[in-house]
Amino acid sequence: MNIKQLKKQEIREKVLTIDTMNPRVKNIEYAVRGPILLRAMELERELKQGVKKPFTEIIRANIGDAHAMGQKPITFLRQVLALCLYPDLLSSSSFPEDAKKRAERILQACEGHSVGAYSASPGIHVIREDVARYIEQRDGGIPSSPENIFLSTGASQAIVTVLKLLVASRTGVMIPIPQYPLYSATLADLNAVQINYYLDEEHQWALDMAELKRALEQARNSCEPRVLCVINPGNPTGQVLSRENIESVIRFAFEEHLFLLADEVYQDNVYAEGSKFHSFKKVLMEMGSPYSEQLELASFHSCSKGYMGECGFRGGYTEVVNMDPAVQQQMLKLMSVMLCPPVPGQALMNMVVNPPQPGEPSYQQFQKEKKTVLADLMEKALLTEKIFNQQPGIRCNPVQGAMYSFPQIQLPPKALERAKELGQAADMFFCMQLLEETGICVVPGSGFGQKEGTYHFRMTLLPPMEKLKTLLNKLSQFYVKFTQQYS
């Protein structure tokens, strides 16, 4: 090879550069695992290397990952999973008989009697049957068909799949603000039009019908609105919709000819007195004709949240209602491209919808562990609201459900100016300073969306109680110091 050829080879450009890559990917933002978390991980490495910091550990309150925060797995769920993963244990006397029966039933339904085999693309049929039975029981006997159940890789994959079916040219998708960033990221990826409707912070993050109408009418000038997304209980806001509110949303979606997506992954996480989870499916069916026969609905659930917190197994499902049968076949095809959801995740989802029953050996322990987790979360929700609201400049709505608080913070003008100089959102600047000085990792409200001129952060309730108390007190003290520094 001569020098001329060598030089030519040296200056050869890469096929894939930041300028030639898919521009939609560059538009995706996911604050929950964004710059704050990356810096937190750097700080953790520095602490391990002995670098001196004003703190001794990073407290991650940025993400709803229960087990990472120290929550213990539910014994029955892990027993059944262990038996499914290593069937030789079925002969062990260390496992209760009901766990063995569940595992044997799942293994019999697997190809080759192994959870290492692919399943059918919508999931193992007996598990879909159990999901349908669970939904019927949850909703007071309203029928559910396994043919309308699709198991998925967490609820996230199911949400993305349904949105892929819905998004065509200039499709508008209504999402709540604040929202879970999966929605904005997916819409950016699909080149859909994001239609923001703002939750009412002054009234405990209520979903206001006048605001829905405002957002829809305004959007019709620039796109074709086709989809309404609702998160209940709310993430990051923690509100729980009343039945009356849900009925109003259903009427609105029906009258405006919108497909309704109901993200219900926190349905087990309801804490506030007087609050109760109502599924959109149940309310829709009880409203009767024409709503129950015509409104198209997809609802989602997951084993990552609730009392289970089994994020890593990626188990979830969607139920579709009134979907065009031809479209439902296309949905199956779309899921087939990914072959199937993780089979251990399917097995875990099966335990969530088919838990120990009264009289079975595991029932009492299961109920005790479940109630303990939910009671702890309720106590933490009340404590978080109380401590934040004691601090002037911080205002936190009641955490009615889910597993986060989303307090509003007042930031002094000099802090806003400094953030602008650094090219950062003001609440990102606050959260980054909080991390650098205290080791506390929370997510700025700008990553979820918020009304112009307001500033928030999202914080999970999941740290153990003593660590949560430390976190709340440190955060409050830092806020005082920060506001004095920039006043």
- Token pair for 382: 């009340």
The type of residue at 101 is: K
In this prediction, residue 47 carries a pLDDT of 83
In this prediction, residue 16 carries a pLDDT of 67
- Token pair for 373: 């987790």
Half-sphere exposure (CA, 13 Å, Cβ side) for 339?
A: 5
* Pick from 271, 205, 241, 206: nearest CA to 406: 205
In this prediction, residue 33 carries a pLDDT of 59
* Pick from 175, 167, 161: nearest CA to 228: 175
Q: What DSSP letter does each residue of 306-348 carry, written as one string? A: TTT--GGG-EEEEEEES--HHHHHHHHHHHHHT----HHHHHH
In this prediction, residue 330 carries a pLDDT of 85
Both ends of the chain: CA-CA distance in Å?
Answer: 66
Q: Residue 270 forms beta bridges with which residues?
A: 401
b/e sequence 211-220, b meaning 16+ C-beta within 10 Å: bbeebbeebe
Half-sphere exposure (CA, 13 Å, Cβ side) for 458?
A: 28
In this prediction, residue 321 carries a pLDDT of 95
Cα separation, 59 vs 298, in Å, equals 36
User: Phi and psi of 404, rounded to 5°?
Assistant: -140, 155
- Token pair for 1: 């090879």
User: Phi and psi of 485, rounded to 5°?
Assistant: -60, -35
Helix orientation angle between 280-287 and 243-255, rounded to the nearest 10 degrees: 70
Q: Are strands 171-177 and 443-444 parallel, antiparallel or unpaired?
A: unpaired
* Pick from 20, 21, 24: nearest CA to 188: 24
The type of residue at 187 is: L
75-353: CATH topology: Aspartate Aminotransferase; domain 2 (3.40.640)
Half-sphere exposure (CA, 13 Å, Cβ side) for 244?
A: 4
Q: Which helix (H) or strand (E) holds 441?
A: strand 440-441
Note down pLDDT in tens along the chain; length 487 residues: 566 665 556 677 777 667 766 777 766 665 555 677 888 888 878 888 888 888 888 888 888 788 888 889 999 999 999 999 999 999 999 999 999 999 999 999 999 999 898 888 889 999 999 999 999 999 999 999 999 999 998 888 999 999 999 988 899 999 999 988 888 888 988 889 999 999 999 988 989 999 999 999 999 989 999 999 999 999 989 899 999 999 999 999 999 999 999 999 999 999 888 889 999 999 999 999 999 999 999 999 999 998 988 988 999 999 999 999 998 988 888 888 888 899 999 999 999 999 999 999 999 999 999 999 999 999 999 999 999 999 899 999 999 998 899 999 999 999 888 888 888 888 989 998 999 889 898 988 888 888 888 999 999 999 889 989 999 999 999 999 999 888 8
Cα separation, 445 vs 177, in Å, equals 10
Cα separation, 79 vs 148, in Å, equals 29
CATH code 3.90.1150.10 for 23-63+365-485: yes
Q: What DSSP letter does each residue of 167-234 carry, written as one string? A: --TTEEEEEEES--HHHHHHHHHHTPEEEEEE-BGGGTTB--HHHHHHHHHHHTTTSEEEEEEEESS-
Domain ranges of the chain: 23-63+365-485, 75-353
Q: Which helix (H) or strand (E) holds 159?
A: helix 154-166
Structure-token match 């709803």, residue found: 64
| C-beta atoms surrounding 16 within 10 Å | 9
In this prediction, residue 31 carries a pLDDT of 53
Q: Residue 433 forms beta bridges with which residues?
A: none
